Structure 1
Amino acid sequence: MTSLIPLPPTILFILLCVVPLSTIILLLRRQIRQTRQPFAPTLAETAEQRLQREIDETSVDILTKSLFIALIPITIYSIYATQVALTAKDIDSAVLYTYLIGSALFIASLTRDVYRTLRRRRDLSLNRAGRLAVGQALNQLIPAGFRLFHDLPLGNRTIDHIAVGPQGLFAITSLVRPRTGKKREKEASLRLDGRQLRFPDGTDADSVTTAVKNAAQLNERLQESGESGPPATPVLAVPGWTIDHTAAAEQLQLYNGIEPIFLSRGPVLLNEKQIKSMAIHLARQLQ
């Protein structure tokens, strides 16, 4: 009987597998973290850029763990085959099973981590796509005299989108929520019930609270700068869902994220001078 300690040929094989792969992964991580836009070094990172960076990082994590999942059984078999071939002795069964059980547990742990990382990457990708869809759809308001701003910092978070135009000031928060299963269009609907959103698979009160708080903080910031005018209206955009009911919750506006034109159909509340003044202030906040 012989132990399962790797011999020099096995060690060389393992190094030839691990070193190139590890080098490539380290270079990928370094490239993601050090990538900067040379033409805009002073601009703050937008939410979409941050999400894309996190997506890239999770992709590398998935690649790294998947490679190790594939490499572990290959390594164990290489050690076993080399030991038997070079020593002409059988491996101690207890040692072999210890290695196999330990490897199986480690692979199971890595597989669980890969699954969780895949779910996180899906959520990040969905969030980024939803935010972009809402932001692009808001361009429909430009012909109506609106000015648009994105990713206004508010302490440890941001207001996703701000629209200021003749019909007032709107603080727009995006809520990107995946559908569970293959929902038919009738089932893929939500409604606002007082202070919470009701989805087919649950409720969400935090997003309503966040949207209202975002508008309140925007009002405070504008008041501190001496801006006058009607308060900002909280708006919650939920792309990909059908709005079944729009009962008001502290004047919250709820829509499907792709048809914002209704914001331009209310009474005129701001004149051109007020719109320009607010736009200048918001632009400075984003610098």
Structure 2
Amino acid sequence: MVLSVLYMAITLFKKYHSLKRRRAPFTDNFLRSPGESLRFKIQELNDDVTVALLSMLVMPLVLYSAFITQIHFGKSSNPVFTVVVGLSIFGYSLVKTVLLLNTGRHYRLGYDGEIAVAQELNRLMLDGYHVYHDVPGKGFNIDHVVVGPAGVFAVETKARLKTTTFNHASDARVRYDGRKLQFPNWTETKSLEQAQLQGKWLSNWLSSAVGQPVGVRPVVAIPGWFVERTASGGSPVINPKEFKFLLKSSGGAALDAVMINRIVHQLEQRCRNVHSITAEILNGPDHPQATLP
């Protein structure tokens, strides 16, 4: 037994040192992926769910063991108290798990929505546009930013579940009058306000960064829905598959090549902040490439 443990320890020690003699091939941080922030939230939430489930499974056994131990050593123990404590912990963990799972469902819907929109926007790169995802702001993230001859667009993704009826056409239709979004069973205005605020922040930041005024057009993208405009005005609200038509309707060239390059340089610096997991493992968290700038 001792020899087996010693052999395993020596093997692991050799493996560790063989890895330490290597270094990661990645010298730069990576660009942010679609839904980068939500992906981390989902990972953290899954960890919380695991802890809550373990609490439900382990805590009753711990309390039972404590109760039996007290009896074994002849100490008085109140079984009612033990049961109440056990049920309280179990109930708390159960409620917490249900709430976490519900939150996770919203996170995953949002994440899938950002992936769906990103895949449509990435097609624009074939036409010479630059597309960035999950652009960090101050306390928030802009889902997507598109830069090209037609201008700068801040795209806010809103993934919404559809109701199930016999009329699938009306189930997937949202009406937009320039001020509010009218879904089959509810009305939204917050999405439009959020897109406006994020577009304004991006315009201010880019203008300051490049030293010239940069206009940003906020856009709300709703994947899987047909958007029916009932009035003019307001920020564009589209199905992401319609983005090419939005660019064509934007008029002539709004940005020249020099300004596009200056804007892209700033966005590149801001979005290239995802570290390599391989570099962190091989070189340690203090390695320059293994940390966020």
Shared fold per TM-score greater than 0.5: yes
Cα deviation 1:244-267 (Å, max 9, x = unaligned): 4363443x1111234422123325
Inter-partner Cα distance in structure 1 for 2:153 and 2:133: 12
Asked whether 1:168 is paired with 2:167, we answer no
Aligned-residue offset at 1:74: 3.2
Aligned to 1:247: 231
Which structure 1 residue ranges, 5 or more long, are not aligned? 1-36
Inter-partner Cα distance in structure 2 for 1:112 and 1:71: 16
Aligned to 2:180: 196
Could you tell me which amino acid in structure 1 is paired with residue 124 of structure 2?
L
Match 2:197 to one of 213, 216, 221: 213
Preserved CA contact (<8 Å) 1:194 1:248: yes
Cα deviation 1:230-278 (Å, max 9, x = unaligned): x33221011233324363443x11112344221233254217x714522
Preserved CA contact (<8 Å) 2:42 2:104: yes
Superposition pairs for residues 270-281 of structure 1, below 5 Å?
270=253, 274-281=256-263
Cα deviation 1:119-173 (Å, max 9, x = unaligned): 2222222222211221111123234443323333333223222223343332211
Preserved CA contact (<8 Å) 2:37 2:134: no
Preserved CA contact (<8 Å) 2:221 2:240: yes
Change (3 A) 1:114 1:43: same
Asked whether 1:135 is paired with 2:118, we answer yes
Aligned to 2:277: none
SS in 1 for 2:256: helix
Aligned-residue offset at 1:56: 1.4
Higher relative contact order (CA 8 A, sep 6+): 2
Preserved CA contact (<8 Å) 1:164 1:170: yes
Q: Which stretch has the larger CA shift, 132-141 or 217-226?
A: 217-226
Could you tell me which amino acid in structure 1 is paired with residue 61 of structure 2?
I
Superposition pairs for residues 1-287 of structure 1, below 5 Å?
39=26, 42=29, 48-78=35-65, 95-179=78-162, 182=164, 185=168, 186-224=170-208, 225-227=210-212, 231-245=215-229, 247-250=231-234, 252-266=235-249, 268-270=251-253, 274-287=256-269
Inter-partner Cα distance in structure 2 for 1:239 and 1:183: 19
Preserved CA contact (<8 Å) 1:149 1:283: no
Identity of counterpart residues, as a percentage? 26
Preserved CA contact (<8 Å) 1:126 1:176: yes
SS in 1 for 2:26: coil
Preserved CA contact (<8 Å) 2:35 2:133: no
**Normalised TM-score (structure 2):** 0.69
SS in 1 for 2:80: helix
Inter-partner Cα distance in structure 2 for 1:112 and 1:38: 46
Preserved CA contact (<8 Å) 1:246 1:254: no
Inter-partner Cα distance in structure 2 for 1:219 and 1:75: 57
Preserved CA contact (<8 Å) 2:32 2:133: no
Inter-partner Cα distance in structure 2 for 1:211 and 1:40: 35
Inter-partner Cα distance in structure 1 for 2:232 and 2:88: 52
Aligned-residue offset at 1:208: 0.3
Inter-partner Cα distance in structure 2 for 1:183 and 1:283: 48
Aligned-residue offset at 1:43: 5.2
Change (3 A) 1:56 1:246: farther
Inter-partner Cα distance in structure 2 for 1:44 and 1:150: 8
Preserved CA contact (<8 Å) 1:166 1:268: no
Which structure 2 residue ranges, 5 or more long, are not aligned? 1-23, 270-293
Aligned-residue offset at 1:49: 3.0
